[in-house]
Structure 1
Amino acid sequence: MSVQERKARERAERERLIVATARELAEQQGWDAVTTRRLAERIEYSQPVLYSHFRGKREIIGAVALEGATEMAAAVRAATAAAVGSRARVSALARAYLDFATRNPAVYDALFELDGGLAYAQEDTPEPLKDAFAALLECLREVAGDGVDPGLFTEVFWASLHGLATLTRSGRLLPQDAEPRVELLVDRLAMV
């Protein structure tokens, strides 16, 4: 292995450490607790080393969001692949999405609530974000209905899931009614 390859590998490892540490800190204490100073202390590197990887917190949030998008897409695909029938797949998609939001609140915030400097729904949208949307579209395309743009339908269904996730997390919707909400969403919007 050449010196350049070793340095590139070490740099990639440091970057993964920064992202993992930011994510862990955000999940434990919230994003306000994630500062470059605290990250530098936790990873045992100086702040200039941290800044050699990311220009600041915004880019770190973006990196966590991209990692989260990949995980969310995998969770949705795994859940829908195991389900049999259109209704079961859409229901599995909804549950997987909401479970991801519940289990990973800081990552979910990085994806959808905080400014990570990422472009959404544009040509320069990063591939992990495109793939997360594609994971939803793959399942919802079959239930969009005649004459309905599957992409538009997916956006509306996703917006509904996002609303359920954020309103439940904030305590504005009672958690004990989560299952009936999912069933209503699937039955009425997906009409399967």
Structure 2
Amino acid sequence: MAIADRRDRERDARRRLIVTTARRLAENDGWDAVTTRRLSTEIEYSQPVLYKHFAGMDQIAAAVAVDGFGELAEAVRAASADATSAKDALYRVAHAYNDFARDNPATYDAMFTRTTTLPFASHDTPPQLTAAFDELRQVVGPVADEQDVDSLTEVLFAALHGMVVLGRAGRVRPDHDAERLGVLVAQFTGEGNRTH
């Protein structure tokens, strides 16, 4: 049994090395620079070894995406942990989401813009993807009132993603993220409907 355990650990370690190396290369040089040839050179394994773990680059990028969703869930959870109110939690989470996307652009691309076979919003969605949505849902619930929490969470997710994509593309004013996030939070907490 010890030999089988060791083989499993070695296999898991090789798989982890492939994924972390692909992510590092993508974050440094973009996804176009990540090829199986370059990966095999970087990790000093032959291409057939890579193919024992992944069928190709799409599966490697999907593994990076799954890791990213797990990290996003943790970032959102940590951001809301010390919140003093529902509005504060929502604002902190919106900032954490924005910061994650800014700090991990290639991982964010793997999660949301690259073509993937990862199942979203279905019974076989990986738990990391579900966890990220659930963490957003936790901060939306207290401000949902009579609205459907899942639908409202999807709207928050879509709004945050839209702001990230538009910001990265230079389609909105730079250096106004905090203001936009404040407006978004005000809309979700009902403060955006008040006249001043």
What is the TM-score with the length of structure 1 in the denominator? 0.97
Question: 2:67 corresponds to which residue?
Answer: 67
Deviation at 1:145, TM superposition (A): 2.2
Deviation at 1:189, TM superposition (A): 2.8
Letter in 2 for 1:137: R
Letter in 2 for 1:184: V
Separation in structure 1 between the aligned mates of residue 32 and residue 162 of structure 2, nearest angstrom? 23
Letter in 1 for 2:140: L
Deviation at 1:126, TM superposition (A): 0.8
Separation in structure 2 between the aligned mates of residue 22 and residue 8 of structure 1, nearest angstrom? 21
- What pairs up with 1:7-22 in 2 under 5 angstroms? 7-22=7-22
Question: 2:41 corresponds to which residue?
Answer: 41
Aligned: 1:156 with 2:144: no
- What pairs up with 1:1-192 in 2 under 5 angstroms? 2-146=2-146, 148-191=147-190
Separation in structure 2 between the aligned mates of residue 149 and residue 105 of structure 1, nearest angstrom? 31
Deviation at 1:178, TM superposition (A): 1.0
Q: Secondary structure at the match of 2:175?
A: helix
Separation in structure 2 between the aligned mates of residue 191 and residue 74 of structure 1, nearest angstrom? 27
Deviation at 1:124, TM superposition (A): 1.1
Deviations 1:102-122 (A, max 9, x none): 000011001000123201011
Deviations 1:109-157 (A, max 9, x none): 01000123201011111111011100100111111122x1100000001
Deviation at 1:71, TM superposition (A): 0.5
RMSD: 1.0
Counting matched residue pairs gives 191
Q: Secondary structure at the match of 2:50?
A: helix
Deviation at 1:90, TM superposition (A): 0.4
Deviates more, 1:107-116 or 1:22-31: 107-116
Deviation at 1:175, TM superposition (A): 2.1
Alignment check: 8 A CA contact 1:62 1:115 kept: no
Deviation at 1:159, TM superposition (A): 0.2
- Note the residue ranges of structure 1 that are not aligned, 5 or more in a row: none
Deviates more, 1:88-97 or 1:165-174: 165-174
- Note the residue ranges of structure 2 that are not aligned, 5 or more in a row: 192-196
Question: 2:194 corresponds to which residue?
Answer: none
Q: Secondary structure at the match of 2:161?
A: helix
Alignment check: 8 A CA contact 1:65 1:116 kept: no
Structure 1 ranges of 4+ moved more than 4 A:
none
What is the TM-score with the length of structure 2 in the denominator? 0.95
Separation in structure 1 between the aligned mates of residue 189 and residue 25 of structure 2, nearest angstrom? 37
Letter in 1 for 2:8: A
Separation in structure 2 between the aligned mates of residue 145 and residue 36 of structure 1, nearest angstrom? 50
